Chains A and B, each alone.
Chain A
Amino acid sequence: MTIEAYFIDGQTSKRRACLVTLQANAISIVYYDDSLQKLSSTWRVDAILRQDLRTTSNYIKYGDFPHQVLEFNSEQDLSRIIEYYPEALFHQSAYNKFSTFGWKGMVSALVGVIMVAVFFFFYGVPFIADSFARSIPKEYETYIGNNFRQTYLQYQTIDTLRSEQIQQFYNQMNLESDYDISVVVVDSKIINAFALPGGYIVVFSGLLEMLEEEDELAGLLAHEASHINERHSLRLISKDLAMYVLFASLTGDVGGFSSILIENSNLVSSLSYSRNFEKEADLEGFDLLVNSEINPKGMISLFAKFQSINSKMEQELAKKMGMDSTDLDESSDTAKAWFVRFIENVPEILSTHPIPENRIRYLEEEMSQLDPTLTFRENDSLKLYFDKLLKTSKVSVDSSHLGFD
């Protein structure tokens, strides 16, 4: 078979009209040079360079650099060559095979992408990140936590006296933990507390003011100690880091905007992750208390307090908006009532913590399952330290932030 084409010799860009003859294992090319002298070139089919992507271009290349090129007049001419050597390597590639599936291939690829991405996003990455966070040595974890703590406490006033007292209280509780946990009280109206990796608990004095019984403080500290035991904050950071690495490597964009994208796309999943951790900390804290023979009912009364403060704030807001307290009844369906409820009760899906109602519900369920013969120790010493704490100075409370992390 013969085909008319253009030959480029790799030395200059000149296209020379040529005749291509197809033989068993080679292509023979006949062309004329500038002085009209007849020349020829023979291409071994197995040394034709691979064209791993079929585009609408119609040339093939041959040999080492600088390559010789054959340009055909049409795609049909190139197809004739490919059909003539169906087994030849120069036109074989995984993508060329894929493209023969047409739209079916595209749809399958799309479904595949979505499935794999979903799998990595919800299972693969959290699993890897979790295993990583769990394998970090305790000493290093404490080092990281200490960094956090120093950075954070730089800008806070520490109540040293109450910090000592609360530490004594914590020691009396005698909770099981692999960590040497130290508790600090920060002077602030905010009702909050949180745990840092490696054994640091920070309690805001605003939260202390609303406590009435030693069981409540015990419940709070047990919750925070469980965060530390389960390495929750480290696991959260590790998951964010892993998501960052995953997105960066998928998009090839290490520095740029994908990190912003992740922060946002990751938010909802992080929140649910964090809610799960909170629930875990509630339940593990519950068990810690029971194991140390401390009555866990304090945890429930703590959440009941949050709940009642919540509804108080609802009513205040309602008053500000000129509504009667009756307007806020369960049955009232006005837009205003809905708005007030929304503002004061962020929907659970958008919150880092389960809503107090739910926490009370599952803790009460745990209570009902406790062995009725179980006894709790007379908490005289706990009560002693707790009363000391209460006697120490009081600050007014700002309930715009409510709860503890």
Chain B
Amino acid sequence: MEEQGLNSDTSNLSPTGTEGAQVTQKPMFRPHHRITFHGSNMQYLGLALYNLLLTVLTLGLYYPWAKSAIRKFLWQETEIDGSRFDWHGTGKEMFRGFIKAYLFLGFFFLLINFGPMFLPPSSVIWVVLFSYLVILAFVPLAIHGAMRYRLSRTSFRGIHFGYRGNLKEFYGKVSLDFLFTILTLGIYGYWLQINARRYVMKHSRFGDVSAKFNATGGDFLGLTIIQGLLIAVTIYIYMPWALINFYKFYIENTGLEQNGKTYYLKSDARGGDFLWVLLKSAFITIISLGLASPIASLWIHKFYIESISLSGEFDFDAIQQTEKSYKDATGDDIADILDLDF
């Protein structure tokens, strides 16, 4: 059932590039651009096993190469308007980031996990507290670095994505919001998250197309309260629907601005379908004793990503290259270790 309906929309979108100057005359109605995902389960499983073997053999040193290959697979199998995305990152770049991230954070995680055994009892609590603070202080840097690296290494039809955020400015905003969050006993955390996302999106580019995130912390808090209530009332049965509503919140508030006009992404994901995918994934993972878990995660990825569409008026043929070359993968790995998903 994975392979059905993949090419239905893209056939309408045959490129108009050959007509040259005539492109200004567009038809009144253009079908939505839909994302399709072509990755084959077995191909992905093979890649995951290959990665696992090399990672184990090299005692984990192969991990950055593995991560890069997985990302390349996911990007290259993702199609919109008849073209694929591309991932330019390399294992070598990510290895450098990996080493830096591990030297920084590994030390503090070791302190937290094993410090109580080795440190004088009176100082343990301070050392652990300090370690947590240091790790926390890394979060904005991780987001900044990861965005810069990931976006600069992603392209579509030769046009690179990019991130123009300013680290100092970002730290300033986040620190202030963090202070408010403590003062409001965590409630302002909803604004903290959304404001950070707004900042990051606002400074993300796809060539000369810029992105934006439209929701506020209040919207996010409201959504969380309603979904939380529904989850509680239904004793967690509502969970898949809630997850989809959060996903749609993130996707549908994301807009792309081209020629002064903003086009918002759409997601037609539905909770019932998601529940089915989750059940299927759990089943195959359990029945294979975890060996097929890459396939399960691919199903979930496919479900999420294929639900996305974009107004047909957005012109994928008219994007100008604006990025310069950029290399540094440290943030990417810090983000990975801290399990930040964005």
For residue B181, give the distance in angstroms from its CB to the closest CB of chain A: 21
* Contact residues, A61-85 vs B (CB, 8 A): 61, 65-69, 71
- A154 and B121: CB pair below 8 A? yes
- A14 and B318: CB pair below 8 A? yes
For residue B3, give the distance in angstroms from its CB to the closest CB of chain A: 11
Q: Is A157 an interface residue (CB 8 A)?
A: no
- B106 and A254: CB pair below 8 A? yes
The stretch among B14-22, B165-173, B215-223 that forms the contact with chain A is: B14-22
For residue B286, give the distance in angstroms from its CB to the closest CB of chain A: 16
Interface hub of B20, B98, B323, B338 (most chain A Cβ within 10 A): B20
The stretch among B48-56, B182-190, B228-236, B297-305 that forms the contact with chain A is: B48-56
- A10 and B15: CB pair below 8 A? no
Q: Is B341 an interface residue (CB 8 A)?
A: no
Knowing A16-B18, A57-B84, the reply to whether A246 touches B59 (Cβ < 8 A) is yes
Residues of chain A lying within 8 A (CB to CB) of residue B213: none
- A13 and B63: CB pair below 8 A? no
For residue B308, give the distance in angstroms from its CB to the closest CB of chain A: 18
Residues of chain A lying within 8 A (CB to CB) of residue B317: 12-15
- A55 and B77: CB pair below 8 A? yes
Q: Is A384 an interface residue (CB 8 A)?
A: no
For residue A106, give the distance in angstroms from its CB to the closest CB of chain B: 5
* Contact residues, A347-390 vs B (CB, 8 A): none
- A15 and B15: CB pair below 8 A? yes
- B15 and A13: CB pair below 8 A? no
For residue B88, give the distance in angstroms from its CB to the closest CB of chain A: 8
Residue of chain A at shortest CB distance from B117: A237
User: How far is A36 from B22 in the complex, measured between Cα atoms in Å?
Assistant: 11
- A10 and B337: CB pair below 8 A? no
- B158 and A250: CB pair below 8 A? no
Residues of chain A lying within 8 A (CB to CB) of residue B39: 55-56
The stretch among A40-48, A145-153, A201-209, A338-346 that forms the contact with chain B is: A145-153
- B121 and A150: CB pair below 8 A? yes
Q: Is B319 an interface residue (CB 8 A)?
A: yes
Residues of chain B lying within 8 A (CB to CB) of residue A249: 59-61, 63
For residue B110, give the distance in angstroms from its CB to the closest CB of chain A: 8
Residues of chain B lying within 8 A (CB to CB) of residue A67: 155, 158
* Contact residues, A9-66 vs B (CB, 8 A): 9-17, 32-36, 52-53, 55-59, 61, 65-66
User: How far is A9 from B207 in the complex, measured between Cα atoms in Å?
Assistant: 14
Give which listed residue, B83, B98, B120, B321, contacts A71 with CB less than 8 A. B83
* Contact residues, B1-49 vs A (CB, 8 A): 15, 17-18, 20-21, 38-40, 42-43, 45-47, 49
User: How far is A113 from B51 in the complex, measured between Cα atoms in Å?
Assistant: 10
Give which listed residue, B61, B72, B333, contacts A53 with CB less than 8 A. B72
Residues of chain B lying within 8 A (CB to CB) of residue A65: 160, 324-325
User: How far is A151 from B59 in the complex, measured between Cα atoms in Å?
Assistant: 35
- A116 and B56: CB pair below 8 A? yes
Q: Is A211 an interface residue (CB 8 A)?
A: no
Residue of chain B at shortest CB distance from A93: B69
Residues of chain A lying within 8 A (CB to CB) of residue B59: 120, 246, 249-250
Residues of chain B lying within 8 A (CB to CB) of residue A6: 15, 17
Size of A's binding interface in residues, CB under 8 A: 62
Knowing A13-B316, A112-B53, A254-B337, the reply to whether A57 touches B117 (Cβ < 8 A) is no
Residue of chain B at shortest CB distance from A252: B63
Q: Is A8 an interface residue (CB 8 A)?
A: yes
Q: Is B287 an interface residue (CB 8 A)?
A: no
User: How far is A254 from B135 in the complex, measured between Cα atoms in Å?
Assistant: 12
Give which listed residue, B56, B109, B157, contacts A8 with CB less than 8 A. B157
Do most interface residues of chain A lie in helix, strand or loop, or is the interface mixed? mixed
Residues of chain A lying within 8 A (CB to CB) of residue B106: 248, 254
Q: Is A244 an interface residue (CB 8 A)?
A: yes
- B117 and A34: CB pair below 8 A? no
User: How far is A69 from B155 in the complex, measured between Cα atoms in Å?
Assistant: 11
- A144 and B20: CB pair below 8 A? no
Knowing A12-B318, A69-B157, the reply to whether A36 touches B86 (Cβ < 8 A) is no
User: How far is A13 from B161 in the complex, measured between Cα atoms in Å?
Assistant: 12
User: How far is A67 from B87 in the complex, measured between Cα atoms in Å?
Assistant: 13
Residues of chain B lying within 8 A (CB to CB) of residue A68: 158
- B17 and A110: CB pair below 8 A? no
Give which listed residue, B43, B56, B321, contacts A55 with CB less than 8 A. B43
- B158 and A244: CB pair below 8 A? no
Q: Per-residue 0/1 for B262-279: is the Cβ within 8 Å of any A Cβ (1 yes, 0 no)?
A: 000000000000000000
Interface hub of A61, A106, A254 (most chain B Cβ within 10 A): A254
Knowing A106-B45, A254-B106, A255-B109, the reply to whether A95 touches B50 (Cβ < 8 A) is yes
User: How far is A32 from B21 in the complex, measured between Cα atoms in Å?
Assistant: 11
Q: Is A210 an interface residue (CB 8 A)?
A: no
User: How far is A36 from B109 in the complex, measured between Cα atoms in Å?
Assistant: 61
* Contact residues, A165-198 vs B (CB, 8 A): none
User: How far is A99 from B106 in the complex, measured between Cα atoms in Å?
Assistant: 34
Residues of chain A lying within 8 A (CB to CB) of residue B45: 106
Q: Is B118 an interface residue (CB 8 A)?
A: yes
Give which listed residue, B43, B53, B76, contacts A113 with CB less than 8 A. B53
14 A-B residue pairs with CB within 8 Å: A6-B15, A13-B317, A35-B21, A52-B69, A55-B73, A56-B76, A59-B83, A59-B86, A61-B86, A66-B159, A99-B50, A147-B117, A249-B59, A249-B60
3 closest Cβ pairs, A-B complex? A249-B60, A13-B319, A13-B157
